[in-house]
Amino acid sequence: MCGIAGLCQTDGGPLPPEADQWVRAMTDRMAHRGPDGSGLWREGPVCLGHRRLSIIDLAGGGQPMCSAQGDLTVTFNGEIYNFAELRQELQARGARFQTDSDTEVILEGYRIWGPDCLERFDGMFAFALWDAPRRRLFCARDRFGKKPFFYTVQQGRFHFASEVTALEQVPGLNLTLDPAALMRYLAYEYVPTPQTMYKEVVSLPPSHWLLLEDGALRVGRYWDMPVPEEDDPRPVPQLCEELRDLLARAVRRRMVSDVPLGVFLSGGIDSTIVAGLMARQSATPIKTFSIGFSEASYDESRYARLAAAAFGTEHHERVLSAAQCADTLPGIISCMDVPMADASVAPTWLLSGVTREKVTVALGGDGADELWAGYEHYIGFNLAERYNALPAGLRRGLVEPLARLLPSSAGYINPRLAVETFLRAAAAPAWQRVQTMLTALGPDAQADLLAPAVRERAPELLRPANLFAPTRAAYEHWQPPQAAAPLARAFHVYVRQFLLDDILVKVDRCSMLHSLEVRAPFLDKDVAAFAARLPVRYRLHGFKRKWLLKKAFADLLPREILHRNKRGFQIPVAQWLRGRLRPLMEDLLAPEALTAQGLFNPAAVRALMDAHLSGKADLRKPLWTLLVFQLWWRARRDGRGPAC
């Protein structure tokens, strides 16, 4: 796991003399991504930089790496898990290797297969490869976007980096706030790929390549999620056996490391499966890591201990108070290169720190909830159709008035807020339903909240069809429309938006700030394709989430974990905003600060704060989304780096 950056003159001419120091400044800004070494390579129109976290071939895997013939050079972030098999295949075709690293497999794979090499790589990666004979730069990002790749074309140069803050180090680049991106952030709690908060910076989408050649920039897709089948003739026991084999192989591949490794263990279904498969395939006790909270209502560490005992792991646990978590949160958010309003960033960052004390690589359960229907919203999506089939009089005259009588709570689940969110989603068109359940601030709320100068620069986004256009594109991705049922399309929205720009960003940034690599067996290309092809009823079976996954691993999972409900990291945001984080909120959202900034309507923001502080409404999502943006904005304004 590493950090990459570089420049390429688009006209093929030589770079300015200062290019070396610009690229070095970019990689230095990402030193946390690669504390074990740095490298710089320059030739003609291109300069590539690298920060290394040594995982495979500690002595010989330095980068940027040149091929044995000296004609290809790559800077690479990530891991190619099937590199050993690919190496043998390439050697049989005459490839010569100088190292034992997976990086060199990219070079030789590209030499023999060209851009089609991407179809053969199983891994998490982002890389830029300079093909000197063809005078072209070939870049790519992995299938699910586990590794980031940002770029901008300015001043006749193509600039790229693993983090947006690295691009800020290049003198003279225009990096201006995009009002449309701000509005999408307020709706999604992140900026959907390929957009970024800066108008001039693009995030390369997952499963895509980028080619810079002859002054032209082209971007294309090399892989797509399979269309779910309406039926599958294989009996359930056979499907379970195939899934067990695929996931066991995915875990085994991700256990290849020349440095110590372990596993994030929350005690949920997904991490417990990964830990159990690791334990079965390890000759020595594996290392597991979890955090707990001293407050009983937020602590689920007993499930992690239960799983650790079942598998005989060497378990490491850190118990924190919610207050410690709250106090850490503002600093963590300020270190992020992109604003992302997932409050579980705090425990993820803390868990990464605890884990890094013992190991350099950790496996986790990321991707299982999105691919296997782990979220309650999948059930809500299906229930919406049934609810809408009820007579309108019953819905409007009985159900909706009763919903307003439900109790409100600042806890993990607020019954009234949950039902109100469901009713809004049920009233939305099917393509918008998932995002309606996740949205912080829709068009109506933004119309009041944003300063006129911002609204006037992107007025079209105050209409749902435009604000949520990325969601519609993800929902309608498969053509013709009958290619996939509505629920199958909801899976695609979750994978291509929430997983991509929330979950994977959170895990990548939090782990990398501690120089820790995290691997995701559930996002193995074969495991993910198997899940995606299944009829959706095997993933959401009535009201039973992760149905086939649980069935396949029932003998591995401790019974108490097998039958527990999913719960993510519990963060008492609603309480914090009324207590421990209130001074920070009052400071960052103060009228004078907002007036000087010129992005938000101070009176509307104050009204949100007053309603939440009084307990009349639970506005944790919009207020937290605003607070995170202000923390990110302040860090950018102050030029603060990611050293936490």
| Residue 55 counted as an annotated binding residue | no
Q: CA nearest 524: which of 78, 82, 54? A: 82
* Chain centroid to CA 315: 26
Instruction: Return d(Cα 520, Cα 528) in angstroms, integer.
Output: 11
Task: Answer whether the bond into residue 64 is a cis peptide, omega within 30°.
Answer: yes
* Chain centroid to CA 55: 22
| Residue 291 counted as an annotated binding residue | yes
* H runs (alpha helix) in 400-524: 400-403, 415-427, 433-438, 443-449, 452-455, 464-467, 469-475, 486-493, 504-512
For 199, residues 6+ apart whose C-beta sits below 8 A from its C-beta are 176, 177, 178, 181
For 82, residues 6+ apart whose C-beta sits below 8 A from its C-beta are 120, 121, 122, 123, 253
Largest CA distance in the chain: 76
| The amino acid at 626 | L
Q: CA nearest 599: which of 198, 164, 178, 174? A: 178
Q: CA nearest 522: which of 537, 509, 539? A: 539
3 state DSSP class of 445: helix
Instruction: Return d(Cα 414, Cα 420) in angstroms, integer.
Output: 10
Q: 383: how many CB neighbours lie within 10 A of its CB?
A: 15
Tokens matching residue 207: 């499963």
Instruction: Return d(Cα 596, Cα 451) in angstroms, integer.
Output: 11
Tokens matching residue 576: 């914090």
3 state DSSP class of 452: helix
Q: Is 584 exposed, middle or buried (0-12, 13-18, 19+ CB in 10 A)?
A: middle
Region of residue 379 (phi > 0: left; psi between -120 and 50: alpha; otherwise: beta): alpha
Tokens matching residue 81: 């898990």
3 state DSSP class of 318: strand
* H or E segment and range at residue 252: helix 236-253
Instruction: Return d(Cα 285, Cα 282) in angstroms, integer.
Output: 7
* Known catalytic residue at 2: yes
- How far CA 200 is from CA of 153, 229, 599, in Å, comes to 8, 40, 19
Select which of 2, 47, 66, 240 is catalytic. 2
Residue with tokens 């300069």: 47
Instruction: Return d(Cα 602, Cα 607) in angstroms, integer.
Output: 9
Contact 492, 225 (CB under 8 A): yes
As annotated, the active-site residues are 2
Annotated binding residues for ATP, as ranges? 291
- Binding site members for L-glutamine: 102
